[in-house]
Structure 1
Amino acid sequence: MKQPNILLIMCDQLRADSIGALGNGIVRTPNMDRLVQRGLTYNKAYSTCPVCVPARYTIRTGREPYTTGYYENGGPHLSEEQPLDPEERCGDYLPRTMRAMGYRTFGVGKFHTNPWNEELGYDVQLRSEELMDTKEQWRGDDYARFIADHHPEYSHIEQLHGERTDMYYMPQTSPLPAALTVEAWAADRAVEQIRAGGDGRPYFGFVSFIGPHPPLAPPVPFNRMYNPDAMPNPVRGDLETDFMDEQLAWMNYLIWAEDIDDPRARALKARYYGEISYIDQCLGKILDAVESAPDADNTLIVFVSDHGDHMGDHRAWQKESFFEASARVPFLVSWPARLPAGESRDDLVCLTDLFAIFTHAAGSTQTRDGVDVLAGVAKQAAPREFLFGWYGRPGTPAFKVMVRDKDWKYIYLSNGGREQLFHLKEDQNELVQLAELQPETLSRLRQAAVDEINRHEAMAEALAVGRLRSFPFEARPLVRVRQFNAARGVDDFMVN
């Protein structure tokens, strides 16, 4: 069989439980449901560093933070032995790798690179970023230029994707009509690239939607698609368990979300679901373009998110924790010519594995720091025993670790040396903290974390005398984020 076309479609901040066909009884996602029916659903899929920049470097390199150097949105944080050039320490980026394997490559949407205009190896790359700090970046953003050149009637809008800062978690409506939002633009550009063809090469395409990342601003009529009174309240455990990770309370204050009550939380979820249903409609355009082509069955489509969103669960908003709402992601893999349809799997997988999926399909597997998921489907490779997550620079109070096995999750927080243990088989909402009640399981998973860290010199500072390093607990100073459009000369409130 000839090489398949390959399409990686990604949302930003889409929770794994926000797809209709996977059990969500409220949100309407007919096109995501199409992908569920078209192939495999991985129920235990994770972002191993659940925040934007590290997750994206993981995807484009097939490497974990101990190789990429990205343990948080700042960085990279490298050991003395690691090369400064990212491709020298990680290997060629995914689009460059696929191009070398005979693919026509294109990327559309949010890339969140460092620097903002990093060259990634695509034949065609069209950017649409959330934030622009300089006029150069504003002019280099393909979506912002599209609005300026073709729809100047909207050029007065400072923040094309909705207002941030104090409005980060306020229900909003898009300032643009549905046909002109960044999601519609990304879908339209993707369809153009899918249909381009012409040189006989298969395509590798990356389509990266900005939504449903806040601000939660779906366009009309999706802004009123869901009734807030029909939304469930957030799921909360006891305060000590929910806020054992000190970063959660700090993050709430950072994004002006420290006192969101249940009525507002329900309104936010209604807008979140509205944004998801809108993106689903845009996704439908892309799937229609794939299905209308003669080689549709030999097109591999993978649909994921970079991480989730707490959406009020555990009293938290945003991401950057190892609670399921933040770290677990949708992971749909379909390839009708080669894979079964409508099948659900419980293998432990993660975003790091995408590199191997695509290179395997292209004919020359590179697992890098991941595993060969497609070999696992063919029962030619054993599934993981443990899946690990990393966040924060090793050797600092920000460092934290997740260890996930078939039924359990262990979380270690260097700030205070705190530990959490959840039996996910019986407690999917992570409400029952079992660290003191299950010492043998706690010790087993803690030791797995120590053993894995010992395998990677770049994380050596995370250990002290063979144990996970801890620091006296300290809450960091509270600050507010101010995210305006600096490229338009706006960087703060007019009066403070």
Structure 2
Amino acid sequence: MLFVTVDQWPARLLGIAGHPTVETPTLDQIARTGTRFTNAYAECPICIPARRSMMTGTSPRGHGDRVFQPALPMPEGMPTLARTFRDAGYQTAAIGKLHVYPQRDRIGFEEVLLAEEGRGHLGGMDDYELFLTDKGQPGQQFMHGMSNNEYSWRTWHLPEELHVTNWITFAAARTIKRRDPTRPGFWHVSYTHPHPPIVPLASYFERYRARDVDAPLMADWARDPAALPYAVRVAHNYWEQLPPAQLADMRRAVYALCTHIDHQLRILIGTLREEGLLDDTIILICGDHGDMLGDNGLYAKRLMYEASAGVPMLLSGAAGDGRVGTGVTDGRLVGLQDIMPTLLDLCGLPIPESCEGLSMVGEQRREIFYGESLEGAKATRMVHDGRYKLIWYPAGNHFQLFDLDEDLQEMRDLAGDPGHAGIRARLGEALAARLYGEDEAWLQDGKLVGMTEPELVMAPNRGLSGQRGLHYPPIPPTDPAKAVGSG
């Protein structure tokens, strides 16, 4: 089992998905050997909640985080993906980003090699930073000066072989080669990019420098920032609006990070092939959430638009396994909670009762996908029926409705269209039925009424969105419950 995750990679950022610029030949070929799920979403498009869904097979309601709680452990007693495979006799290893607390909690993995993007303040040693020290570069990971949560960019400042993408690949390939030959293997390889800091290798940026790059989307409903829902205005005002030339170069830099990962995946495939394992290996590749990348003047995640909530989801089965198929696109509604039951199902292992997700190779289909992000005035809730997506912003009781069959780029908001009033009402009822906890205060007689929209006040960004500094000597611990940057 090779389970690969990428961080902050929009679903549409694949050549096989029709993207006009990005090069992803390896991912495209993996899609051709299996199934690409075209309606795959993060239940909560924020790093930690998304990864908790992957690792527990549950929704945010099940695992308890729809915000970003860096000091929240995994739910006590809940089976994890890694622990379930380990208990079934698999050797389990994770390489790269886990985003759990405590930071060295193995959550069921027998071996963990961490690259946690400089979170030493949470305690525990980071294996990638140890590697840099061994290579004579102690504390140098962030001396490029780019923030983990902003959209300035520059090329990588250290030798190419020291880039975190190269290290994760090397460490994962070596872990595969060091396997116990008497046991099946479960390898989780978690790349930290294209999440900022945006620091591509110069060689990969060069391949995009002379190309025309796709322009960011700008829908009519987004042209007046003051008219946006409160939660969207918060996101719009958080990041500086890049002028066109800088925005185009930023997108080139992100595409360079993506192509670099794509090419490194070839080394993992080659290692499996040379070790005689490839035909007997199930491969699942997904993202934790996407990134707006300047569309409609918005950046990063947390929103329920396609660029933020949609994730790549590619599944390639063992050779000859007809349950997965070859060269298939599957439009069923799937989420990160479906990863655990899918992998267990494909290996013939029992699925724990705690799992809320559905096997993506099973016969069951969900009629409604529910998404949620943040709480209070910044909250966003979403339901999707396979064609129509209704987004609800409780602050101001604001709705948006999109017909994704006809308008995948979400350029036309149909929430106020009388011809779609019945669809809006039906999806509104479905959304109301899924609210829980403090959200129930936004209901009156079963109807969505939301809350009064507060005045928007933006705090000064004194910390440059969680900018890292010199990491040698090691940075001191701080309150682990305090979120750094924008999550």
- Residues 409-444 of structure 1: CA deviation (Å, up to 9, x unaligned): 000111111001001111111111111111100000
- Unmatched segments (≥5 aa) in structure 1: 1-5, 77-83, 376-380, 492-496
**Cα distance in structure 2, aligned partners of 1:143 and 1:407:** 43
Equivalences for residues 97-496 of structure 1 within 5 A: 97-134=84-121, 136-137=123-124, 140-149=125-134, 151-152=135-136, 154-155=137-138, 157=140, 159=142, 163-164=146-147, 168-227=150-209, 230-240=212-222, 244-254=228-238, 257-335=239-317, 336-338=319-321, 339-363=324-348, 364-366=350-352, 368-375=355-362, 381-393=363-375, 396-437=376-417, 438-453=420-435, 460-461=440-441, 463-479=443-459, 480=461, 481-482=463-464, 483-485=466-468, 488=472
Equivalences for residues 8-87 of structure 1 within 5 A: 8-74=3-69, 86-87=74-75
SS of equivalent to 2:4? strand
**Cα distance in structure 2, aligned partners of 1:245 and 1:19:** 30
Question: Quick check: 1:187–1:286 contact (8 Å CA) kept in 2?
Answer: yes
Amino acid of the structure 1 residue aligned with 2:416 = E
**Cα distance in structure 2, aligned partners of 1:360 and 1:242:** 48
Amino acid of the structure 1 residue aligned with 2:235 = M
- Residues 305-327 of structure 1: CA deviation (Å, up to 9, x unaligned): 00010011121011110000000
Question: Quick check: 2:103–2:123 contact (8 Å CA) kept in 1?
Answer: no
**Cα distance in structure 1, aligned partners of 2:21 and 2:222:** 30
- The 1:357–1:160 alpha-carbon spacing in structure 2 relative to 1, beyond 3 Å, is farther
Question: Quick check: 1:162–1:216 contact (8 Å CA) kept in 2?
Answer: no
Question: Quick check: 1:170–1:268 contact (8 Å CA) kept in 2?
Answer: yes
Q: Over the residues paired in the alignment, what is the CA RMSD in angstroms?
A: 2.4
Question: Quick check: 2:290–2:309 contact (8 Å CA) kept in 1?
Answer: yes
**Cα distance in structure 2, aligned partners of 1:126 and 1:212:** 19
**Cα distance in structure 2, aligned partners of 1:323 and 1:241:** 16
**Cα distance in structure 2, aligned partners of 1:334 and 1:55:** 22
Question: Quick check: 2:231–2:393 contact (8 Å CA) kept in 1?
Answer: no
**Cα distance in structure 2, aligned partners of 1:374 and 1:214:** 33
Percentage of pairs with the same residue: 27
Give 1:401 shift.
1.1
**Cα distance in structure 1, aligned partners of 2:293 and 2:458:** 20
- The 1:458–1:373 alpha-carbon spacing in structure 2 relative to 1, beyond 3 Å, is farther
Give 1:216 shift.
1.6
Give 1:13 shift.
0.6
Work out the number of aligned pairs and report it: 462
- The 1:53–1:135 alpha-carbon spacing in structure 2 relative to 1, beyond 3 Å, is closer
Give 1:22 shift.
2.2
Question: Quick check: 1:416–1:470 contact (8 Å CA) kept in 2?
Answer: yes
The alignment's TM-score, normalised by the length of structure 1, stands at: 0.87
**Cα distance in structure 2, aligned partners of 1:164 and 1:49:** 23
Give 1:191 shift.
0.8
- Residues 135-168 of structure 1: CA deviation (Å, up to 9, x unaligned): 944xx0000001102x11x335251676117x92
- Identify which of 81, 85, 93 aligns with 1:94: 81
SS of equivalent to 2:402? strand
Give 1:458 shift.
7.7
